Amino acid sequence: MKEDFYDILGVSKNATAAEIKKAYRKKAIEYHPDKNPGDAKAEEMFKKAAEAYEVLSDPDKKARYDQYGHQAFEGGGFGGGGMNMDDIFSQFGDIFGSAFGGGGGFSGFGGFGGGQRRVKGSNLRIRVKLTLEEIANGVDKKIKVKRKKVAQGTTYQTCGTCNGQGQVTRIQNTILGRMQTASTCSTCGGTGQVIDKKPANADAHGMLTSEETVSIKIPAGVVDGMQLKVSGKGNEAPGGNGVAGDLLVVIEEVPHPTLQREGDNLHYDLYISFSDAALGTSKEIDTVTGKVRIKIEPGTQSGKILRLRKKGVPSLNSYGTGDLLVHVNVWTPKSLNKEQKEFFENMRSDDHFQPNPEKEDKSFFEKVKDMFS
């Protein structure tokens, strides 16, 4: 089981953004590669802290993590897990860079000493439509994605402007003395490499767009608008030492014809006749696992709610499965023939047709209160 992000950084769930940033910086400095060369445990702690900060520093990601935990991002292969050292230094260099001479260079874990950085390709975003049945049971999807990849036959050489460092250092004389500044190399865009040869059909960066089928394992319990991440399935980065971006999968829930979702619970409106309500019957209804038959007891009142335990949607955090709430509605006929009218006229004064609610026959407001509790 994955460690809690708040525990990793040593902060409470009510910590402010400033407190979270301060805690991460402390952990980053403590486990930084330059302070712990060759220490595999320190490397692992360094990555864990970066992963935790990536989520908790983003208000949207933090809100989803607070509600759904790790599975909001993982989903059986999704999420921040598997961050490599290049991701960490490229994203969070500003957090601890000043403590180690600025910049994102590192050397302790077999990195690219001297400050060379690896450029990450751009992310891709797609929307995946899921039925309620797919959401309730989990599903494997195969999606066709158009990705930019380095064209076969493209070769690169070291950038002559930055000598492969990806950044250019300038020294200026000011009234405060000599000041050194570093900026991304405009020639190579920070990759440290420029194109040597490329096929005629490749773009200026030596890239080609091709269609690829990506397998996506979507866990049960996802919600509309949730974003999952497939690492390394975005656009590739130009150059020989870049890393591919990520594929961001946005969930879109397709409305169900008869079931309404409310969190992990489902609602079903069942309409029955006067006769069925008075005499009792059985009805077949939809669920996310197929049709089931339920029993309607004689004398069932309109507005009665039947609860089918664990027939709803599984919780994304494995906290159980919701229920299916069947709302019974007794249908009043809008038109009657002569014989039917005579029957109901004769029943007006019959004691059995007079309203006589018992204690267990709750009011509408009591039913609503029970439903939400």
d(CA 306, CA 79): 38
d(CA 228, CA 212): 18
What is the per-residue burial (b if ≥16 Cβ within 10 Å, else e) of 220-254? Answer: bbbbeebbbbbbebbbbbbbbbbbbbbbbbebebe
The reported pLDDT for the residue numbered 106 is 40
Question: Which of 320, 333, 313, 329 has the alpha carbon at shortest distance from 367?
Answer: 329
Tokens 């980065």 correspond to what residue?
237
**H/E stretch holding 364:** helix 364-372
The reported pLDDT for the residue numbered 6 is 92
Give yes or no on whether 119-150+209-254 and 259-372 have one common fold.
Answer: yes
d(CA 264, CA 256): 15
Q: Sign of torsion, CA 181 236 157 105?
A: positive
Are the beta carbons of 121 and 236 closer than 8 angstroms?
yes
* CB contact set of 353 (below 8 Å; sequence gap of 6+): 347
The reported pLDDT for the residue numbered 185 is 86
Tell me the DSSP string of 87-134: HHHHHHHHHHGGGGTSSS---TTS--TTT--PPBPPPEEEEEEE-HHH
- Both structure tokens of 339: 């014989």
Tell me which of 3.40.50.1170, 2.60.260.20, 1.25.50.10, 3.10.20.600 is the CATH number of domain 119-150+209-254. Answer: 2.60.260.20
Tell me the DSSP string of 265-325: EEEEEEEE-HHHHHH-EEEEEEEBTEEEEEEE-TTPPTT-EEEETT-S-B-TTSS-B--EE
Q: Sign of torsion, CA 64 65 69 70?
A: positive
Question: Which of 191, 204, 194 has the alpha carbon at shortest distance from 241?
Answer: 191
Q: pLDDT per position in the chain (373 positions), as tens?
A: 678 899 999 999 999 999 999 999 898 888 887 677 778 888 889 889 988 998 898 888 888 888 878 777 654 434 444 565 555 655 555 554 444 444 444 433 334 344 455 678 899 999 999 999 999 999 999 999 999 999 989 998 988 998 888 888 888 776 666 777 788 888 887 788 888 999 999 988 888 999 999 999 999 999 999 999 999 999 998 876 778 999 999 999 999 999 999 999 999 999 999 999 999 999 999 999 999 999 999 999 999 999 999 999 998 876 789 999 999 999 998 899 999 999 988 888 888 888 887 766 555 556 555 655 5
* 305-308 sheet: strands from edge to edge: 259-262, 265-272, 324-330, 305-308
Are the beta carbons of 56 and 89 closer than 8 angstroms?
no
**CATH architecture for the domain at 259-372:** Sandwich (2.60)
Sequence ranges of the domains in the chain: 1-118, 119-150+209-254, 155-197, 259-372
What is the rounded (10 degree) CA torsion for 121, 122, 127, 130? 30
pTM value?
Answer: 0.62
The reported pLDDT for the residue numbered 98 is 45
The reported pLDDT for the residue numbered 223 is 92
The reported pLDDT for the residue numbered 298 is 94
What is the rounded (10 degree) CA torsion for 61, 64, 66, 68? -140
Query: CATH homologous superfamily of domain 1-118?
Result: DnaJ domain (1.10.287.110)
